Structure formats: C-alpha cells, structure tokens
Amino acid sequence: MLRYLNRCSGGRGAWLLLALTAFALEMTALYFQHVMLLKPCVMCIYERCALFGIMGAGIVGAIAPKTPLRWVAIVIWLYSAWEGVRLAWEHTMIQLHPSPFVTCDFAARFPTWLPLDKWFPSVFVASGDCADKVWSFLTLSMPQWLVGICAAYLLVAVLVLIAQAFKPKRRDLFSR
C-alpha cells in the first residue's frame, strides 16, 4: 500500500483529487452561507482557511509532483489538516459545552499582510456565534463532521509522508 501511495503522490491525479475534494467542501460551506443563509462564525472561517490550505497543497503538488515541490505540498497538507482537526475540535467543544467564559472572537484576525476579510468579505467575514448549532446531519454538527473529515485528510497525509520512504517497484514486462 505504501508503494502505491508513493506512486500516486508522484502523479498529478491524486493531487488534483485532493484539491477537488477540498474545493467541494469549500463550495458546500459557501452554499450553506449564501443559499441556506447560515451565518458562519469565526471558528468556521478559520476552519475554511484550513480547507483552503489543503486545497492549496493539492494545487502545489499537482504543479510538479515528481520534483521536491511535492515535499512542500506534503508539509502544507499536514499542517493544514492538523490545524483543521485542532480548530474543528475546539469548535466542537465550544458547541458541546457552552460557557459565557469560553467564546470565540467577534471577527476573524488575519495578518495585516493578508487581510482576507477585506479582500473577500463574502467568504471570510464572520457573523455567527460559535456556540450555536445551526445545522446537523445524522446528529452531528458541522464542526463534528469537520473533525472527522480533517482527521481523514491528516491520516492520508501521514501515510503519504511515510510512503515517500518506499520507492515504487519498477515493473518489467518479463519479471514476475
């Protein structure tokens, strides 16, 4: 399996699939926000940024999968998936154990050199409350689903990282 993951990480298809799945999740989030009129909170915006990081890792990996740029993509993928799990877990705890002493910020804090909330307000401006459960499916809220989704991204990223040590076998027409 690890040799297979190594071979996949050397091609564009797997990286584009990674980017496509993250893009689909982003489009789902925007559907919830703009069509279903669910207000995203600050934690939702940060979780969205983690998914954009995973999508960016897929794009970076697809650019040149057989070069050292693949290592950059794996690092971005690992970091973004880890942050996604961490943020979604924190958001889940806020929802499961609401407290007036543990709340999220009123607005997302982006670096001054990357003011995403100013550049793309329809995507990165928060207006909801982190403790509100505004949507659920199969009894799980949105951040609970994201814990599982980002954990799956993280697990696959770790396996792909480990797989880099296993060189794929060269197939020969006459060997068994």
Q: Which residues are catalytic?
A: 41, 44, 48, 104, 130
Query: Is there a contact between 61 and 2 (Cβ–Cβ < 8 Å)?
Result: no
Residue indicated by tokens 């925007």:
30
**Residue-wise over 27-56: b if at least 16 C-beta within 10 A, else e?**
eebeebbeeeebebbbbbbbbbbbbbbbbb
Which residues 6+ apart lie within 8 Å of 140 measured at CB? none
Give the pair of three-digit tokens for residue 91: 């958001």
Rg (CA), the chain: 19
Q: How far is CA 39 from CA 45, 72, 106, 134, 144, in A?
A: 10, 34, 13, 8, 17
Measuring CA to CA, which residue among 55, 60, 64, 61 is closest to residue 21?
Answer: 55
| Residue 4: how many other CB atoms lie within 10 Å | 11
